[in-house]
A and B are shown apart, each in its own frame.
Chain A
Amino acid sequence: SQQGEEDPQALSIQEGENATMNCSYKTSINNLQWYRQNSGRGLVHLILIRSNEREKHSGRLRVTLDTSKKSSSLLITASRAADTASYFCATRGYQKVTFGTGTKLQVIP
């Protein structure tokens, strides 16, 4: 079963706008990761945030983590058409990595 649930399930924005995706999870974690999956391609790791971190930046990506609410958000600033993809959060327990249901992002040029 899926550990996390992303919200919204689908998001459509204009190029240049910011996109925010949220992830909620159920059990305690060691870290949380965000992945991108383009149509027909494999998953690409974007960013990892540890359970003792609250915020992390990487380029146009900003991730927050609230372990008390068991939630995380991914912000993509100044979106580009190439950001069109599905985005998944994934939580890592002892050994297993558990993925959420994904947010499908469409960036319109």
Chain B
Amino acid sequence: GAGVSQSPRYKVAKRGQDVALRCDPISGHVSLFWYQQALGQGPEFLTYFQNEAQLDKSGLPSDRFFAERPEGSVSTLKIQRTQQEDSAVYLCASTRGLAETTDTQYFGPGTRLTVL
């Protein structure tokens, strides 16, 4: 079946604007993760969903970041009042089972956000 998809692939925002990034995980996958990857760095964990429940949001850098997965499938990462330091690639990943398992994470292509 189809892999993880993300939209948009590229987003340019003016500082202060709100943005919404979408992730469509592999159908039936229970777990969904969001990561932020700054240029030249590895991905950094933002938040984790098990179905519709957000079980870990310890990586969200500020209260301007908000994520949801209301029906346990598609997820949206929203960033309010964007700042230049929010510029990064935002990656979404899903796994078939629970995060505690050794299931492989399947990553989407990412959304490259540039805040001017």
Known interface pairs A50-B102, A95-B56; A42-B108 also in contact (CB < 8 Å): yes
B107 within 8 A of A: yes
Which chain B residue lies CB-closest to A94?
A: B100
Given contacts A41-B109, A42-B91, A43-B91, contact A99 B102 (CB under 8 A): no
Using C-beta atoms within 8 Å of the partner chain, give the interface range for chain A: 20 to 34
CB distance from A81 to the nearest CB of B (A): 22
Per DSSP, are chain B's interface residues mostly helix, strand or loop, or mixed?
loop
Distance of A84 Cα from B55 Cα, bound (Å) = 36
Q: Are A102 and B41 in contact (CB under 8 A)?
A: yes
Q: Which residue of A lies closest to B109 (CB)?
A: A42
Q: Decide if B48 touches A95 in the complex (CB within 8 Å).
A: yes
Mask of A24-56 contacts with B, CB within 8 angstroms, 1/0: 000000110000000001111100101000000
Residue of B nearest to A31 (CB): B102
Of B40, B43, B44, chain A has the most CB atoms within 10 Å of the CB of B43
| CB of B91, distance to nearest CB on chain A (Å) | 7
Residues of A within 8 A of B (CB): 1-2, 4, 30-31, 41-45, 48, 50, 88, 90, 92, 94-102
Known: A45-B106, A97-B45. 4 other contacts (CB 8 A): A42-B108, A42-B109, A45-B104, A96-B45
Chain B residues with a Cβ under 8 A of chain A: 4, 33, 35, 40-45, 48, 55-56, 58-59, 91, 93, 99-100, 102, 104-110
Q: Which 9 A-B pairs have the closest CB atoms?
A: A99-B42, A95-B99, A42-B107, A43-B107, A42-B109, A45-B104, A99-B43, A88-B42, A102-B42
